[in-house]
Amino acid sequence: MDISAVKSIEDVRALIAERNPLNVTVGLCDMPGQIRGKCISRDKFLKVIENGICFPAAILSLDVGDAPRPLPEVTDSPDANFGDQVCRLIPESVRVIPWEPESRNLFFLVDFEEKDEPVSPRNVYRRIEKKAAQMGFLPIHSCEYEFTLFNESSHSVREKGFRKLELATHDKSYNLMLRQGVQSEFYNELLDCLATMDIPVEAVHEEMGAGFMEAALAHAVGVRAADNAAVFKTFAKIVAQRRGQMMTFMARWSNDADGQSGHVHVSLRRTDGSPAFHDPSQPNAMSQEMRYFIGGVQRLLPEFLLVLGPNVNSFRRFQPWIFSPIASTWGWENRTCALRAIGGSPSAQRIECRVPGADTNPYLALAGILGMGLWGIENKIEPASEMLGNVYERMHEVAPEHRFPTSFGEAIRRFERSEVAREIFGSRFVDAYAASKLAQEEEFAALVTDVEIRRFFEFA
């Protein structure tokens, strides 16, 4: 049975009966976007098909590095018992893990029941996807991820204290075939892995910096695009580490490096399959829905920046002159804007949101952008005038309400106070997400950095 044909619980039963595996791996996406999972026996999996599998809801309170964070109604209540909650199998999420034998190479995503865990990232996206369907739209997304590759292992980076690490390539090498040819073993293993796992890729290439690379995933419909992106980020890192290398998706891993983006492309189709963003009777064939979508995202980005910049480190990237947005602007084919409108054929006309860093949770990044755009359509929000030229040179023209929060703390407060965020995401998610990020900000605010020691140790 071809796994692409698996769409239902009955199909899963048929697949297991045909392949008779010894073990099956199930995975759950946590709040930062990591996949946490279990390798379970065939007999256990047959019970999972019927009854689900239990994970503690407190897993959603863990930040990167398993730092515990408060999760309202789960970990910070006097009645909290840190008990398990049922996760249901997602049949159509099945993948094949390339390096495992046939007896244990099946992988499925699971997720909490939405009614029991409304803060689960996949549930958050699914609710907004349902809203799109109610409005008569089918969302189409694709994600692009920049990352840096190192000739280091998980052990060696720690032995070196994450300093003086060996990059996989040297100097700037944008799209150079020389570098890509030399690195072909890495590219081949990555692409073979993604092909086996049914994650279509449009392109991989060298980016503008030492060890700096990019993978552009092909577009997919709705939650499948987010599933692909989440699985990509985890398994790409596995490919690198199995080769004795390390990959980072940090928004900015070094003062000498540019920021690493996780750009999102988005468009909408109507229920009859026609492209909602294309209207040949309008200038640049921009439909009214596309205008309102841009208007909604532009209006709300300063309030929602925390979702697209989820960590203290994310705000090291929101700096001028490194092709990272610093204000909520839009323009046709303008890569200095937060929103780049892209024309072309009816099906290709779309919006690229250049705000997310590579460190974002794909479910939340896509949910945020889609939610903002749908709100714009619903409320008929007209965008400000198109930005022409280099935004970094023309920041004096940007209205105050379109400027981004200048710090992680300010972004937390803006998101927590946003009535529209509560309307789109739900108050429980907003409270949980803001509390988690506030705990991260407080932790890092108390740390003494290497820069401080060098600056003040002798002369203060």
**Cα gap 199→98, rounded to integer Å:** 12
Encode pLDDT of 199-220 as tens digits. 999 999 999 889 999 999 999 9
Which residue positions in the chain have pLDDT lower than 70? 76-82
How far is the C-alpha of 22 from the C-alpha of 42, rounded, in Å?
Answer: 5
Q: What is the pLDDT of residue 180?
A: 87
CA-based angle 111:218:266, to the nearest 5? Answer: 75
Express each pLDDT in 18-64 by its tens digit.
999 999 999 999 999 999 999 999 999 999 999 999 998 889 999 99
Query: What pLDDT is stored for residue 145 in this prediction?
Result: 98
CA dihedral 114, 119, 120, 124 (to 10 degrees): 70
Dihedral pair phi/psi, residue 336, rounded to 5° = -95, -5
Q: Are 251 and 150 in contact (CB under 8 A)?
A: no
Question: What's the pLDDT score for residue 114?
Answer: 85
**pLDDT at residue 208, rounded to an integer:** 86
Kindly give, in sequence order, each residue whose CB lies less than 8 Å from that of residue 168, ignoring residues fewer than 6 positions away.
149, 150, 151, 183, 186, 211, 245
| Cβ neighbours around 23 below 10 Å, total | 17
What structural domains does the chain harbor? 3-117 (3.10.20.70), 128-435 (3.30.590.10)
Question: From CA 205, how far away is CA 214, in angstroms rounded?
Answer: 6
Tell if the pTM clears 0.75, that is, is over it.
Answer: yes
